[in-house]
Structure 1
Amino acid sequence: MKIPLQGDVAAKIEAKLAKFSRGWAKLELDPLRRATSFKVLVLCEMLGGRTKAAEAAQLSDNTLDNYRHGIKDPTYATLGLMAEKAGIASCYLGGDWSFEADSVRIDLSGQAGAMRLPMPPGLMDNPSQPYIHGYDEIRPSSVAAATVIEDYWARLGLEPDAVSTFLAEGDSMVPTIADQSPVFVDTGDRDLVDGGIYALRIESSVFIRRVQRLIGGGLQLLADNNAAYPPQRIDETASAGLDIIGRVRSVAVAC
């Protein structure tokens, strides 16, 4: 699909792209982070420039600039808010964006069936869009979180001591996370947020599920592979005693 750009927005995007692409090359951004920075850049201009975009997204100018430069990653919620303010449905954030003269082209052809690359760090709370294969149960990993460079955790706003590492197993979260991929869990964040992905201990096993709050109380635990794994409803009394290990914040691609 194509999104036509009004007024001089196209010219501004073209100018900003020429400027920022040099910085992206200098930083040697990987394709995922570069793609996210490009989306922020486009949305920023569609919202009227950095200052207006920062106000719309409830961010500081410097934070938004870090997103455009690729120094930090926005959360999915932030990117979704910017898209909403710009009149673009958040479901299009998972597509491949490109700039063409007076429009932005969004290619969604790779989302159904084909394996996709994961979203960049910080976008873990994406909706059920196909990026890569998923998992069922997880187990403690021999991969120590401390071995990951501190800058990575800083970009996610995490304390290294609060990060636990697990290995994904199975297929219940297809297509969000690959089987046997290291999954990084923030054990300091146990407050359930609607739509967030959490590591939960149920009886003697540890699972990862997306959480949905129900009207009137209680929760639904959702597997992204919902064709094979139906939602699991937990009433208000049981949900109050749910053993929450922490919130999933990132995942590495299995080798």
Structure 2
Amino acid sequence: MDKLEAKLTGVSRRTLSDYVAEKSEPKASTVIEIADATGVSVAWLMSGDGSPTSGSRSLANDNVVRLPRFDARASAGRGLIPVNEMPVGEVAFARDFLRNLGANPDYCYILEARGDSMWPTIPDGALLIADASKTEVDDGRIYHFNVVDRALVKRARWSMDGKLFLTSDNVAAGYPPEEFTADRIDELRVGGRIMFTGHAPMPLR
């Protein structure tokens, strides 16, 4: 990795070298930034399979973007593995559709929700579009959080004294909110804000 590549991607030369040597793994937003800066597809960047430019995020139609889909599943429950793995594919969406959601198309990615803690807002198995550019946590919005070795999809709630609570929508299930104060902030990373929830018809409950 040379200095120009590091400058283009906004990632330090040493960090890029660690990625190449598989000493560390980039988060979803970093993968997207590197792919966009270097003009290659996310899938090729992570796996080396196929052509660097085939299936790139920007297609011939400028109104279409391919979002990387990650195999990691964020739990709408008690937490599964974080999204720091290779994408398993890409899904095409219209840029206008994503912009109408208020999302930045170039920073969106797809993951799958597991569990019932966010029901009925987000049912088990729903595919989620998250925006990695939206990492400022606003009260009442739903985010993909990485908490140490867990990935969570939770609604953020701020208390008057500055504490952050990750809460569930399924009140009847009794999921307790998870509290974060200043001494725990290093355990928490925001993957992105959930901008869209797609799912099959839900069964009666």
- Describe the SS at the equivalent of 2:199: coil
The equivalent residue for 1:225 is 170
Q: How far off its partner does 1:194 sit?
A: 0.6
Task: Identify the structure with bigger relative contact order (alpha carbons < 8 Å, sequence gap 6+).
Answer: 2
Query: What count of residue pairs does the alignment treat as equivalent?
Result: 121
Q: How far off its partner does 1:202 sit?
A: 1.1
The CA distance in 1 between the partners of 2:89 and 2:199, in whole Å, is 13
| TM-score normalised by L of structure 1 | 0.43
The CA distance in 1 between the partners of 2:163 and 2:110, in whole Å, is 28
1:30-85 CA-to-partner distances (Å, cap 9, x unmatched) read xxxxxxxxxxxxxxxxxxxxxxxxxxxxxxxxxxxxxxxxxxxxxxxxxxxxxxxx
Q: 1:190 to 1:218 in 2, by over 3 A?
A: same
The yes-or-no answer on 1:242 pairing with 2:188 is yes
| TM-score normalised by L of structure 2 | 0.53
Choose from 196, 200, 204 the match for 1:254: 200
When Rg is computed on C-alpha atoms for both structures, the one with the higher figure is: 1
- Describe the SS at the equivalent of 2:171: coil
Q: Which has the higher helix share?
A: 1
The yes-or-no answer on 1:188 pairing with 2:137 is no
Q: How far off its partner does 1:144 sit?
A: 2.7
Choose from 94, 115, 136 the match for 1:149: 94
Q: 1:135 to 1:232 in 2, by over 3 A?
A: closer
Q: How far off its partner does 1:204 sit?
A: 1.5
Choose from 178, 198, 214 the match for 2:123: 178
State the percentage of identical aligned residues.
Answer: 27
The CA distance in 2 between the partners of 1:241 and 1:138, in whole Å, is 15
Q: How far off its partner does 1:152 sit?
A: 1.0
- Describe the SS at the equivalent of 2:96: helix
The CA distance in 2 between the partners of 1:143 and 1:135, in whole Å, is 22
The CA distance in 1 between the partners of 2:89 and 2:114, in whole Å, is 15
Alignment of 1:2-151 (within 5 A): 135-136=76-77, 137=79, 142=88, 144-145=90-91, 147-151=92-96
- Describe the SS at the equivalent of 1:144: strand
Any unmatched runs of 5+ in structure 1?
Answer: 1-133
Q: How far off its partner does 1:138 sit?
A: 6.4
Q: How far off its partner does 1:161 sit?
A: 2.0
Q: How far off its partner does 1:142 sit?
A: 4.3
1:90-109 CA-to-partner distances (Å, cap 9, x unmatched) read xxxxxxxxxxxxxxxxxxxx
The CA distance in 2 between the partners of 1:239 and 1:202, in whole Å, is 10
Q: 1:164 to 1:194 in 2, by over 3 A?
A: same
The yes-or-no answer on 1:203 pairing with 2:148 is yes
The equivalent residue for 1:108 is none
Q: Which has the higher strand share?
A: 2
The CA distance in 1 between the partners of 2:161 and 2:76, in whole Å, is 30
The CA distance in 2 between the partners of 1:143 and 1:244, in whole Å, is 22
